[in-house]
A and B are shown apart, each in its own frame.
Chain A
Amino acid sequence: MKILVVDDSVFSQKITCNLMKGLLTDTEFIVAGDGEEGLEKYKAIQPDYLFVDLLMPKIDGKELIRLVKEIDSTAKIIVISADVQKNVREELEKADILAFINKPLNEDKAKLISALIKGE
C-alpha cells in the first residue's frame, strides 16, 4: 500500500509517518512539502490514501482535495489539520473525505486512522 503525506512541515510529516509506520505494515510512505508537489506526486504514484494538511503554500489543502477529486472521485483522503473550526470541517466533509483529524497527531488518533484503513 502507498500513502502520500502532504504537509509543509517536515516535523508533521515525520510524526505522521513514524506513528503510522508502527500501525500499518507493508506500507510505503511518500511525502510532499506543499499542495503543488502533492498534486504532482499524486498523479505520478497514484497512492491508495492521501493524507493532507490544509494550510500550505502554493496550493492549499482544500484546493488540492478538489483537484485530486477531479482526477479520481473515489480518492481516499484523510485531512490532518490544525484548523479546528466546525465550519471548515463541515465544508470539507461535503467533499467526501474519509476523516478529518486535528493536529497534533498522536497515537490514539493514528490508531483511529489505522482502523479506518483496515476497515475495522
Chain B
Amino acid sequence: MSEDSLRNDILKEIFNISVGKAAGLLSEIINRTIILTVPQVDVLNINEEIQLEDYLPKVTDGALMVSSISFHDILKGKANLIFPAHKMRTFINLCMNENNENDDTTFTDIDYDIIKEIGNIILNSIVGEVGNFLDIRLDYSLPEVKVFTQLNLKKNLENKEYPHILILYITFIIDETEIEGVILVNLTLNSLNELMKNLDRIEKKLYE
C-alpha cells in the first residue's frame, strides 16, 4: 500500500469510528437503528482549480442546512455538517417522534435547536475522535446553524484563510430513508501539515 493510500486509510478509519459513535448517540435519541454506509474521504486544495460543487453530490438540490463548529490550538479550522434541508426535516420528525410525512423546509426555533444538537453530536464526535487519535487537545466554538443556497454555501466554504478541505461523505439510513450528508473540514495549511505529520507518526508506529 502506498504512503498516500495508507494515510487515507487511517483517516477514513478515524472518521469511520467517529461516525459510528455519533450514530450510536443519535440512535438513542430517535430510538431506531441507524444503518451506516462505508464512508469516503477526499482532501482538496481550493487554490487549485477545483469545482467545489463537484464534490457535493446529491446534496446540492434546494436549500442546504449547515451546522458548523470552529476549532483552534494545534489544529485550526472549521468543521461543517451539510445535509439537504428536506432530509434534515426527516431527522427532526424522528427526534420529535412525529411520524408525519411533513417535509416542510420552513424551520421553527425548536427545529433549529434540534439541528444544532444533531450537528453538535456529529461534529464533536468527529473532531473529538480526530483529536483523540492524534493526541491533540482541541478547543471548539459553540455550534452555529445556517441555511444556504448552493451558491452561497460555495462562497462561504471557499475561505482563503482555510485553503484545505477534508471532505467526508456520510449516509445514515433510517427506516429505509437515506439521509446523505457531507462533512467539510476547512483547515489552514499549517493544520493540514500538522495533521499529515501526525498521520505519518501513526503509520510509522504500525511498523515498529
Contact = CB atoms under 8 A, between A and B. Distances in A.
Contact of A82 (B21, B133, B206): B21
Interface stretch (A8-16, A43-51, A67-75): A8-16
A87 interface: yes
Interface residues on A, range: 20 to 34
Interface of A: 8-12, 14-15, 18, 55-57, 81-88, 91, 102-104
B27 A82 contact: no
Contacts of A10: 1, 6, 9
Contacts of B28: 86
B24 A83 contact: yes
Complex A-B, nearest 6 residue pairs according to Cβ-Cβ distance, in ascending order = A82-B20, A84-B24, A9-B13, A82-B17, A87-B33, A11-B10
Interface in B67-87: none
29 contacts: A9-B9, A9-B16, A10-B1, A10-B9, A11-B9, A11-B13, A11-B202, A55-B20, A55-B37, A55-B38, A56-B38, A57-B38, A81-B20, A82-B16, A82-B20, A82-B21, A83-B23, A83-B24, A84-B23, A85-B24, A85-B27, A86-B27, A86-B28, A87-B32, A87-B33, A88-B33, A91-B33, A103-B17, A104-B17
